[in-house]
Structures are given as C-alpha cells and as structure tokens.
Structure 1
C-alpha cells in the first residue's frame, strides 16, 4: 500500500468501529467535524430507556436520526442536544419539578 492509498484521505470519510458504529470525519476549512453514529440499541443503552420510549422520542422528533439503507442511526450529537434540552428544562422547573 503506497502513500496515495491511505484510508485517511477524503475518499474514505467513514470509519467503522468494531461495534458497527460509524465515525464520520470531514474537514471544512479550519473546522473539523467528527461525528459518531450509534445504533438504536446503543442509543437506548446510553439513555437508559426502552424500545417504546426511544421510538416515541424519534416519532416526536425530540431526538433526530438518520436512515442509511435499512438502518436507523442516531448521532452522538443528537443525543447530546436532547440531554442538554432536558437539563435546561430541569433548571427552569427545578430538579424535582413536574
């Protein structure tokens, strides 16, 4: 494999880890975007919720997702946005508010 065949060049922006998640790296001028896509199972485990609750969040667009082929995937960024929104709502209501 020569220097021009490197998988780090712009022809290979997707990097799959051992769990099948996708690490997407794209350079945009001076800014670098790094995003990881998670399976629904991984997202549920991170949030500590079940199938029904995750599907409700997806249907209501509370959590954004993408579809690649037949797979529905959720970015780490989308989970972070959702958690930040929950934290902001919690601050407004108080930690134990309803």
Structure 2
C-alpha cells in the first residue's frame, strides 16, 4: 500500500511537470500566447541564466583587465616618482656642496 501511494505521488508529480503553461508576450501591441511545456520553460530559464552568467563573466574579465592596467600605470608612476626623488636628492646634495 505504501509503495502504491509513493508511486502515485511520483506519477502525479511527473504529470504536473508535463503540464502546459501559457507564455504571453506583447509584440507590436498584440498579445501572443504560446503554449509551452514546463520542460521548455525550464530550458529557456536555463539558457537565460547561462547567458547572464556569461555576461557577468565577461564584465568581471573586463574589470580585471582595467584593474591590471591601472596597477601597471601606478607601478610606472611610482618608478617615475622614485627617479624624480633621486634627481631632487642629487640636486640638494649639489646645492649643499656649493655653500
């Protein structure tokens, strides 16, 4: 009896998964109704999620590239400032030597 009930519940659940749903979209002012199965809806949502993840990955990649370029620019600026400090120190030493 318990096995029969479990099988019935599984059968009901599977039948519910196969039920159709109506997808409504507005195109050019008209409502277009499309009957789709739950499987199609899940597949479409999966594709949309995959596309979103791919877009986010691309944005993260772009941000990482921008950060790397900024990091390189800051390193270059630090080297230039170090050179300027060295030049100023030499000029100060020369001025002190002239006195």
Query: What TM-score bracket applies, with the shorter chain setting the length?
Result: 0.3 to 0.5
Give the helix-richer structure, 1 or 2: 2
Between Structure 1 and Structure 2, whose CA radius of gyration is higher?
A: 2
Length-normalised TM-score, structure 2: 0.32
Higher RCO structure (Cα 8 Å, ≥6 apart): 1
